[in-house]
A and B are shown apart, each in its own frame.
Chain A
Amino acid sequence: MDRQYIREHGVIERYLRGALTADEEQAFEEAYLGDPDLLDQVQAAERLRDGIKELGRTGRLEQLRAPARWRQWLASPQYAVAASVLLAVSLGFSAMLYVENVDLRGTGLSQTFERTRLVRLEAYRGNNNVTPISAPETDERIVFALDAVAYDTYRATLLRRDGDQFERILTRADLEADDETILVGVPGRVLQPGAYEVLLEGRMNDWPADRFEEFTRMDLRVLPRN
């Protein structure tokens, strides 16, 4: 008599309630005599059975058998209403996150890059200083290095300029300076040939909340690849 037979034919349970045939009983007892693990199984099942019977005798099993309070509440109309409202709210929130996620994918934030190019941008403050770069490959990332000043955090915005019109391409917030330099990563595919401007704003922690101050703008020209 092997384990599979014992399991599939409920041999332990039938043994415990004396329902095996004589042949089955002999085979099963011979099997567990020399098999301590099988004997453990039999004894554990017997204690489980005795424990359940004891709980049944003392009436405590009914408590376990009945749905618990929280399970009853789960089945109540109040729960159904609350769950429906929660579901509606979470669906709305999920939709919002999805839209944002699509936007992020659109800007390539979740993209992995084969190459990275570091470009230092100089503030033009009165000069007509334009930094030219060749149009990046789609799998390339451009990291702009910008000079920091005394702000605690920074916000950088990349704008595409068409005459007097500006189109926001992307914004990176909560940037912090490292060694007086701010690094801003931009996926290459958003930098099509054309004129751009990088707006940098700063904020002090002890200033009124959420108040950014513009402190520099840098011109950038993306040239077609040769």
Chain B
Amino acid sequence: MVETPDPALEAQISAELVKRIGLGDRRAEEELVRRYQRGLIYLVQRRTRDPQLALDLAQDTFRIAIEKLRQSPIEQVERVGAFLRGTALNLASADVRKHVRRGTTADSDAVDAAADDAAGPFDNVSREQDKRLVRKLLDELPVQRDREILIKTYLEDQDKSAICEALGVDSAHYNRVLFRAKERFRELLTTAASQRGLKLVDS
């Protein structure tokens, strides 16, 4: 089980990063990029459906953010994530993006290196493997009703309350099945990723 993130700690880290960047600390810039880049790229990619564009926009976002933070702190220093998100979403508009790409000049080694360090833990697992793992997961579920919960949730995009009513299960059971299935699938993905990593190293 994963620990619940501490919002107070997150706010403290955010405020600390903002302060240090304002003082010219280049390491803080690196930390900012390292901490938020994966999530930011994913967020933008969901909006644009274009991985390369998402990478470009994320880099632009960090350039703007660092330039801004070097000059003056943001209003809510404890919410640098919100600041990055807002900036990225603004950039996701094509017109704004063109404008920014012309006007952004901040140089940052951290931003330049961002693309090298943004890989997720499952990135080396192919989509074909995904399908095999999904089949394995569904096959492992001993109760047909639990398989139906997953299928209705993800294939048919049904609402939780509708699924619970259709299958005669309560909300707690639904949450439990879904949570365990996702944790198991994540475990399968992690194993597949590590095995694939080993094969790549071997070859």
Closest beta carbon of chain B to A24's beta carbon, Å: 14
Contact residues in A for B122 (Cβ distance below 8 Å):
40, 43-44, 47
Q: Is B79 a contact of A36 with CB atoms below 8 Å?
A: no
CB of A35 closer than 8 Å to a CB of B:
yes
Question: Number of contacting residues on A, CB 8 A?
Answer: 43
| Chain B residues with CB under 8 A of A54 | 127, 130-131, 134
Please give, as numbers and ranges, the residues of chain A lying within 8 Å of B148 by CB-CB distance: 65
**Other-chain residue from B39, B84, B178 in contact with A39 (beta carbon distance below 8 A):** B39
Say whether B4 contacts A3, CB under 8 Å. Answer: yes
Sort chain B's interface into a size bin: 35 or more
What distance in Å separates the Cβ of A32 from its nearest Cβ neighbour in chain B? 5
Residues of B within 8 A of A37 (CB): 2, 5
Decide if B127 touches A33 in the complex (CB within 8 Å): no
> Do the beta carbons of A34 and B85 come within 8 Å of each other?
no
Report yes or no: B185 in contact with A64, Cβ–Cβ below 8 A: no
Number of A-B contacts (CB under 8 A): 128
Q: Is there contact, CB below 8 Å, between B127 and A50?
A: yes
Proximity string of chain A (19-50) to chain B, C-beta cutoff 8 Å, 1 when within and 0 when not = 00000001001111111111111111101111
Within 8 Å of chain A (Cβ to Cβ): is B202?
A: no
Residues on B with beta carbons closer than 8 Å to the beta carbon of A12: 182
Question: Contact between B120 and A33 (Cβ–Cβ < 8 Å)?
Answer: no
Query: Which residue of A has the minimal Cβ distance to B5?
Result: A35
Whether, in the assembled complex, B113 has its beta carbon less than 8 Å from a beta carbon of chain A, the answer is no
* Complex Cα spacing A39 to B5, Å: 12
Using a CB–CB distance below 8 Å, which chain B residues touch chain A? 2, 4-5, 7, 10, 13-14, 35-36, 38-40, 42-43, 79, 81-82, 84-85, 120-122, 125, 127, 130-131, 133-135, 137-139, 144, 147-148, 150-151, 153-155, 157, 160, 171, 175, 178-179, 181-182, 185-186, 189
Question: Can you list 26 A-B contacts with CB-CB less than 8 angstroms, sorted by A residue number?
Answer: A7-B175, A10-B160, A13-B153, A29-B43, A30-B82, A32-B42, A33-B81, A34-B13, A34-B36, A35-B5, A35-B39, A36-B38, A38-B5, A39-B38, A40-B186, A43-B122, A44-B122, A44-B189, A47-B130, A48-B137, A51-B133, A52-B155, A55-B134, A56-B151, A64-B135, A65-B147
